[in-house]
Amino acid sequence: MGQITLEGMEFFAHHGVSDEEQKTGNRYSVDICIDADLQAPCLSDDLADTLNYGRIYAIIAEEMQTRSRLLEHLAYRIILRLKEEFTGMLKVTLHVSKYNPPVGGVVHRSKVTLEESFIH
């Protein structure tokens, strides 16, 4: 087993509970760690045998552009899309952070973490 991790993906998007957040947008950061059996790509050196992290990034970027009120909802949508695309995932840990969330005080980031296991 192994892990494929993408850290520090940054996006500008329009998520948030308030209409103002939805209108003005904000900066977001996404980190993902996917557990998978990586034996085949280790032996073959073939992109077709692994989880293509260019495609992982593209799916996350697409979902970031579809508005959500809650980071939890956004994160879950990302996981569902990845699950549809990649059958070799065993577990996904996804962090979605919003910079400078409007909470009435100084907060660098708010963050939601979802973890989903696909082991049967």
* Cα dist from 68 to 20, 65, 76, whole Å: 13, 9, 11
Residue 3's CB: how many other CB atoms inside 10 A? 12
H or E element in which residue 75 lies: helix 71-85
Residues marked as catalytic: 98
pTM to 2 decimal places = 0.93
Q: What is the pLDDT along the chain (120 residues), one digit of tens a residue?
A: 899 999 999 999 999 999 888 999 999 999 999 999 999 999 999 999 999 999 999 999 999 999 999 999 999 999 999 999 998 899 999 999 999 998 999 999 999 999 999 976
Q: What is the CATH number of domain 2-117?
A: 3.30.1130.10
| Residue 38 pLDDT | 93
| Residue 120 pLDDT | 61
Q: What is the 3-state secondary structure (H, E, C) of 9-44?
A: EEEEECCCCCHHHHHHCEEEEEEEEEEECCHHHHHH
